């Protein structure tokens, strides 16, 4: 039992030491550099990958816009129910709840409109 405590303490000390942390960080950075695809200024692989990613993101933008509209609708319905309950209970901050729900819906609709413009999709 005493040996197990000593081993546990030694392992904990090793894992939490700054040297181990620095070694792990250097290993991650060095392995990333080893897998890089740049060969003496030839950036064709990176350019092709970025082009592919841009095309794939462009395919998802209409779906995300519709999702934002759907979320705005759900927020509006749930917010309206919350405001209705607050009004029936004669709570003090009904105006604040109304403004929060309206603000959330306006934000979601504005974000849905701005998303295609952000990615340059008409």
pLDDT per position as a tens digit, 27-49: 888 777 766 655 566 777 778 88
CA atoms in the 13 A half-sphere facing the CB of 37: 7
Residue 118 — pLDDT band, cuts 50, 70, 90?
confident
d(CA 83, CA 103): 14
> Are 65 and 116 contacting, i.e. CB atoms less than 8 angstroms apart?
yes
Distance in Å from the first CA to the final CA of the chain: 69
What mean pLDDT do residues 50-76 have?
Answer: 90
């Amino acid at each position: 039992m005493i040996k197990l405590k000593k081993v546990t303490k030694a392992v904990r000390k090793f894992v939490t030491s700054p040297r181990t942390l620095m070694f792990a960080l250097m290993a991650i950075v060095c392995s990333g550099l080893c897998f890089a695809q740049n060969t003496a200024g030839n950036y064709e692989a990176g350019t092709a990958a970025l082009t592919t990613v841009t095309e794939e993101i462009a395919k998802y933008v209409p779906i995300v816009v519709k999702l934002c509209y759907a979320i705005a609708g759900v927020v509006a319905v749930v917010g309206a129910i919350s405001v209705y309950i607050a009004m029936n209970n004669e709570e003090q901050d009904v105006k604040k709840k109304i403004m929060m729900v309206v603000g959330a819906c306006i934000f979601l609709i504005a974000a849905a409109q701005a998303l295609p413009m952000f990615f340059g999709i008409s």
